[in-house]
A = this chain, B = another copy of it.
Amino acid sequence: MRVGVLTGGGDCPGLNAVIRGVVRKGIQEYAYEFVGYRDGWRGPLEGDTIPLDIAAVRGILPRGGTILGSSRTNPLKAEDGVRRIKENLAKHEVDALIAIGGEDTLGVATALSGEYGIPCVGVPKTIDNDLSATDYTFGFDTAVGIATEAIDRLHTTAESHMRVLVVEVMGRHAGWIALHSGLAGGANVILIPEQRFEVDQVCKWVTSRFRATYAPIVVVAEGAMPKDGDAVLKDGTLDSFGHVRLSGVGEWLAKEIEARTGKEARTTVLGHVQRGGTPSAFDRWLATRFGLHAIEAVRDGDFGKMVALQGTNIVRVPISDATSKLKTVDPKLYEEAGVFFG
């Protein structure tokens, strides 16, 4: 049995831990061989491989990034993409594929596995934690930890100065990182993409916080939008840097708060810092177990499935379950956090 492995989409702490889990168990317990495909779906599409054995996965557990490289190549949009993949898999004598990735990568795996009969097992990956069918994805806990530590540090300054501190964290379509880090960091306002915010309400919270104690900390997901967001976009303020990559809401909000409350505001934009570095212990545990269970699914011939976390158990679900619907923040959870606003 020869198994191909690839990682697609944005990088995420834990990818290497998955690869290591797959390879260690596959070789030691099942005597499988492995083929590493480079840069996501570009690897099988172009036949670009690297050796993947015990030596290749040594020492990679604590390392962020992915030794296989990544890309956003979509073979379904490439000419003759499926045929070329089939040919390459045949050439490399690969019997099954493990695809580690998010919505796009897994979407391809669903199609290949279903319509085209290529045996695929999926491993869900998204730092934003917005994939359905799994309680958590690896990388998310690491990102929340980094954002929380940043908020912790800001409290010090908040205590000594009369400034509003705005922290922009990741989350284009779902506010999980903002919600968890904001709650864990004791933020005074948390703004998520799922609910458009009113700047005036933010200013009220900010002002009431100043009265009660000291300077407020506002956590805002990069994808959060003001209620009057369209107007904002029209006059170009957000558009200039915000439209394409949805970043910049932090800086924009800080200026609005300054203008409306007369208080100085400062912005921290964590950016890619959140998706880098060594995975947290939780993410290593989750990613390692995902790897062990993915190769078990291969052994069982259980294709078209994805490993997922439910409670403390790793289960298998159809890959399509994960990608059919974005897992956004439950309004009740956001409301629950609201007791700490202001």
Contact = CB atoms under 8 A, between A and B. Distances in A.
A284 to B, nearest CB: 4
Interface in A271-307: 271-278, 280-282, 284-285, 288-289, 292
B281 A64 contact: no
A24 B186 CA distance: 12
Given A161-B11, A180-B281, A269-B268, A62 B336 contact: no
A6 interface: no
Copies in the complex: 4
Interface stretch (A112-120, A139-147, A317-325): A139-147
A293 to B, nearest CB: 9
A105 B13 CA distance: 38
Contacts of A280: 145, 280
The secondary structure that dominates the A interface is helix
A153 B273 contact: yes
A267 interface: yes
B284 A159 contact: no
B285 A282 contact: no
Contact of A310 (B160, B251, B289, B311): B311
A214 to B, nearest CB: 10
A11 B65 contact: no
A177 B224 CA distance: 32
A63 interface: yes
A104 interface: no
Interface in A168-191: 180-181, 183-186
Interface in A301-342: 310-312, 336, 339-340
